[in-house]
Amino acid sequence: KTDRQREAVFAAIENVAARLAEAKPYLTELDSAIGDADHGSNMDRGFETVVEKIEEERDSDIDDIIKAVGVALISEVGGAAGPLYGGSIMHASDQLSEGLTPESTVAFGEAYLEKLTDRGGASVGDKTMVDAVTPAVHTYKKSIENDDLPAQEALAKAVDAARRGVEFTVPLRANKGRASYLGWRSVGHKDPGAASTLLILEAILESAED
Ligand code: ADP
Ligand code: MG
Ligand code: MG
């Protein structure tokens, strides 16, 4: 079982890296509008490094593989998003010590969101990745705990919630990060970090479906 989960985790991470590589021009465009145009290259380079680094974790437990993802992102990606993604993944990886279960993945999501908001100090409505992560985590938890959906269906619901979260950032004025320097001029654009969060969730769902 562990072997199968490990293979699934590697496949998902590789798919995330491939999707982010494809989306590099898109994320660059989003970050050009309200930032410094590096979010596409930050995420692409970050996950390229992740894919290299996790080769050393071929026989590791799931939590250690995920921890290595976080460490690689922190070490490779500067700026705001690298430490926020990396630190939150690293912190939340502890929840996966028993492997992937509906309960452990809910706990992972909650720990990820907690660390993200602790570190970055952003709340829903500040036009950051928090606007995609929050509805995704809450929807995933509710789908598992209240609606008893299988994990994959819960994840599909979470992806839909994240997609609405990304759209929700468009009319907002940014209150955190570089985009906040623009004040009202940040209105009318998607937040790049919310968009990359959605891409990552879509890639994980896509590999869970095959
Ligand atoms: P930088 O802004 O340093 O160039 P990136 O372009 O890689 O870093 O990432 C920008 C993204 O980081 C933003 O679109 C936003 O989603 C996210 N972000 C920035 N500051 C914060 C924060 N304090 N809390 C949560 N997310 C943040
Ligand atoms: Mg940037
Ligand atoms: Mg930057």
Atom 9 of ligand 1: nearest residue by CA position:
81
Is the pLDDT reported for residue 101 higher than 80?
yes
In percent, the amount of the chain with pLDDT more than 70 equals 100
Give the pLDDT of residue 210: 76
3-class secondary structure, 96: helix
Do 72 and 50 form a contact (C-beta atoms < 8 A)?
Answer: yes
Do 39 and 28 form a contact (C-beta atoms < 8 A)?
Answer: yes
Look at phi and psi of residue 188 and say left if phi exceeds 0, alpha if psi is from -120 to 50, else beta: left
**Calculated CA dihedral for residues 188, 191, 196, 197, nearest 10 degrees:** -120
What integer is the mean pLDDT of 165-179?
98
Atom 19 of ligand 1: nearest residue by CA position:
177
CA of 122, closest atom in ligand 1: 24
Distance (Å) from CA 147 to ligand 1 centroid = 33
Distance (Å) from CA 81 to ligand 1 centroid = 5
pTM of the model: 0.98
Beta carbon of 35 within 6 Å of any ligand 1 atom: yes
Distance (Å) from CA 83 to ligand 2 centroid = 13
Do 152 and 89 form a contact (C-beta atoms < 8 A)?
Answer: no
Do 89 and 112 form a contact (C-beta atoms < 8 A)?
Answer: yes
What integer is the mean pLDDT of 175-199?
97
Q: What is the pLDDT of residues 39-86, one digit of tens each?
A: 999 999 999 999 999 999 999 999 999 999 999 999 999 899 999 999
Cα–Cα distance for residue pair 171/184, rounded to 1 Å:
10
Cα–Cα distance for residue pair 145/115, rounded to 1 Å:
22
E strand or H helix that includes residue 37: none
How many domains is the chain built from?
Answer: 1
Cα–Cα–Cα angle for 100, 104, 6, nearest 5°?
A: 20
Q: How confident is the model at residue 165 (pLDDT cuts 50, 70, 90)?
A: very high
Is the pLDDT reported for residue 136 higher than 80?
yes
Q: In this structure, what CATH number is given to the domain that contains residue 38?
A: 1.25.40.340
What integer is the mean pLDDT of 27-49?
98
Beta carbon of 196 within 6 Å of any ligand 1 atom: no
Domain containing residue 15: 2-209
Beta carbon of 121 within 6 Å of any ligand 1 atom: yes
Give me the chain's average pLDDT, please.
97
Burial of 112 (0-12, 13-18, 19+ CB in 10 A): buried
Give the pLDDT of residue 2: 79
Do 139 and 147 form a contact (C-beta atoms < 8 A)?
Answer: no
Cα–Cα distance for residue pair 182/192, rounded to 1 Å:
15
Q: Which of 197, 189, 195 is nearest to 171 (CA)?
A: 189
What integer is the mean pLDDT of 172-193?
97
Do 83 and 74 form a contact (C-beta atoms < 8 A)?
Answer: yes
ipTM of the complex: 0.99
Distance from the Cα of residue 169 to its chain's centroid: 16
Cα–Cα distance for residue pair 53/41, rounded to 1 Å:
18
